[in-house]
Structure 1
Amino acid sequence: MHTRSIVSVVDDDESVRVATSSLLRSLGWDVCIYASAESFLESGRLDEVACVISDIQMPGMTGLQMQQRLREMGHALPIVFITAFASESVRRQALEGGAVCLLSKPVDGAVVSQCLEKLR
């Protein structure tokens, strides 16, 4: 049995967290939501996480900083980044850091589903 069944949604925008978690649940995933990268990193649940869907631009720690911190902690979790500001340098940094996908807001549910299918 696969123990990593949770998709963690990390976004400072509550409406995005709610919409994304609803989509993920409809696709059959268990979901945990976090309002910041810091709260996700401190959750104590990293070993249960199959994938992280995260905003890049957040107050405090950014999504890219969280990605780096996860690697430093020895957690090579697949991350799907969602951003309204997908510059080429941000895209390159995210993908070089191991991101599965980098999606632009507003996000198409079918595209999120395709990204997650890579993990099943």
Structure 2
Amino acid sequence: MSVDRKTVAIVDDDDDLLEATAFFLESMGYDVVSFASGEAFLAAGGAHRVELLLSDINMPGMSGLELQDIVRHRFPKIKVIMMTALRDEALKEKALANGARDLLQKPILADDLVNSIEKA
């Protein structure tokens, strides 16, 4: 019997956070694909198998909000959770209004990440 593992894409320009988050989610039973930018995620062409996108907001080049908008239109079945180190209520409102299921504050606590993913 095969187990139906969900695929999570993580997009963040912080290599340490990217690696730690991927390791944690893999230990929780998720398949994880990681990208250092929104452009890399879109260029990889694997969005068709991703069920959840976990993206930083502030990145060089394409911002997470720009990526979120593209994903919302091109891949409407992908659920999106945004992450940021900024404490900005307007930014949170914008991300949520644009379809994000949640906005997690960095540094992200493991329980907060799991709860957010389970809700999404």
TM-score where L is the length of structure 2? 0.91
Where does the alignment leave 5 or more consecutive residues of structure 1 unmatched?
none
Runs of 4+ more than 3 Å apart: 1-4
Q: Is contact 1:4–1:47 with CA below 8 Å preserved after alignment?
A: no
Give 1:3 shift.
7.3
Give 1:81 shift.
1.1
Q: Is contact 2:85–2:105 with CA below 8 Å preserved after alignment?
A: yes
2:50 is aligned with 1:49:
yes
2:103 is aligned with 1:99:
no
Please tell me the residue identity of whatever aligns with 1:102. L
Please tell me the residue identity of whatever aligns with 1:48. R
Counterpart Cα distance in 1 of 2:103 and 2:3: 25
Count how many residue pairs are aligned between Structure 1 and Structure 2. Answer: 119
Counterpart Cα distance in 2 of 1:72 and 1:50: 15
Judged with a 3 Å threshold, the aligned counterparts in structure 2 of structure 1 residues 4 and 50 are, in CA distance, closer, same or farther, namely farther
TM-score where L is the length of structure 1? 0.91
Give 1:84 shift.
0.4
Give 1:76 shift.
4.1
Q: Is contact 1:9–1:31 with CA below 8 Å preserved after alignment?
A: yes
Judged with a 3 Å threshold, the aligned counterparts in structure 2 of structure 1 residues 50 and 2 are, in CA distance, closer, same or farther, namely farther
Please give the root-mean-square deviation of Cα atoms over the aligned residues, in Å.
1.8
Where does the alignment leave 5 or more consecutive residues of structure 2 unmatched?
none
Identity of aligned pairs, percent? Answer: 37
C-alpha distance after superposition, 1:63-89 (max 9, x if no partner): 000011112324342111111013111
Q: Is contact 1:4–1:50 with CA below 8 Å preserved after alignment?
A: no
2:5 is aligned with 1:31:
no
